[in-house]
Amino acid sequence: MITNILFTRLITSEIIQKHFGNNVEVACRPTLKLDYISVDEINKNIDHAIEQYIVTSQNTVNAIRDLDLNGHFFVVGHKTALQLKAQNRNVVLVENYAEDLAKKIIEGDYQTKWNFLCGSSRRDLLINELSKANHEVNEVITYCSEQINYKLDNIYDAYVFFSPLSFKAFNQENDIPESSCIFTIGNTTTSAIKEVYPNHKIITATIPLLEEVVENIKKYIDDKE
């Protein structure tokens, strides 16, 4: 039975209280620190002749909040897309995973030049796939991710991860007991964890959203009671 959970990012007290109440002890220990690039620097690096933008992170949405960008947005993540729409951006294509977005872009009737607004630790997959299909990608870094390393004093019944980089930072100083359950936000994170813990129980969100992760944890707790 799960009595304590470690989230490797900050979760609001409202979410913790609403979904876990007083029955489960929840700890939040972030493994990544974000530093946003200045709006002027981002704007300078964007090719404004290209009116197609790829966005794969909610962090990028925050970074470009004050930028006036004309064009079409191609997005990984439905929550990311909703936040872009809230900024009155023209979102034309949304997929849950970068590989699916790349496939749709390549198969679609779109221009072959892109501004890719991303973090400093972005995966290579999307750029590689587009480049192989003779698309030109202008990479624009909107934020930098810095690892936070720490050694835990406690053992948890469940560990929750939201990116391969987050797990990598955690794994440098910590081990996860095989008796513990691991929850992830998506397939990419799960794949990274399986390379280190092939025999651990890992439960992956079918849709990469925090809400899906929380529901998986709640269901697992209910099934074990």
Tens-place pLDDT, residues 74-118 = 999 999 999 999 999 999 999 999 999 999 999 999 999 999 999
pLDDT of residue 1: 66
d(CA 141, CA 42): 7
Where is pLDDT greater, at 150 or 22? 150
Name the residue ranges covered by the structural domains of the chain: 4-31+149-224, 34-145
Q: pLDDT at position 2, please?
A: 72
Select 34-145's CATH number: 3.40.50.300, 3.40.50.10090, 3.40.50.720, 3.10.129.10. 3.40.50.10090
pLDDT of residue 100: 95
DSSP assignment of the chain = ---EEEESS---HHHHHHHHTTTSEEEE---EEEEEPPHHHHHHHS-TT--EEEE--HHHHHHTTT----SEEEEE-HHHHHHHHHTT-EEEEEESSHHHHHHHHHHSS--SEEEEEEETT--SHHHHHHHHTT-EEEEEEEEEEEE-----SS--SEEEE--HHHHHHHHTT----TTSEEEESSHHHHHHHHHH-TTSEEEE-SS--HHHHHHHHHHHHHHH-
Residue 16 has pLDDT above 80, yes or no: yes
**What amino acid occupies position 136?**
E
Instruction: Quote the mean pLDDT of the chain.
Output: 94
Angle at 184 between CA 167 and CA 17, to 5 degrees: 105
pTM for the model stands at 0.85
Q: What is the mean pLDDT of residues 11-17?
A: 91
pLDDT digits (tens, 9 = 90+) for 164-221: 999 999 999 999 999 999 999 999 999 999 999 999 999 999 988 999 999 999 999 8
One CATH from 3.40.50.1980, 3.40.50.970, 3.40.50.300, 3.40.50.10090 for 4-31+149-224: 3.40.50.10090
- Helical axes 164-171 vs 187-196, angle rounded to 10°: 30
> What would the pLDDT profile of 138-165 be if each residue is shown by its tens digit?
999 999 999 999 999 999 999 999 999 9
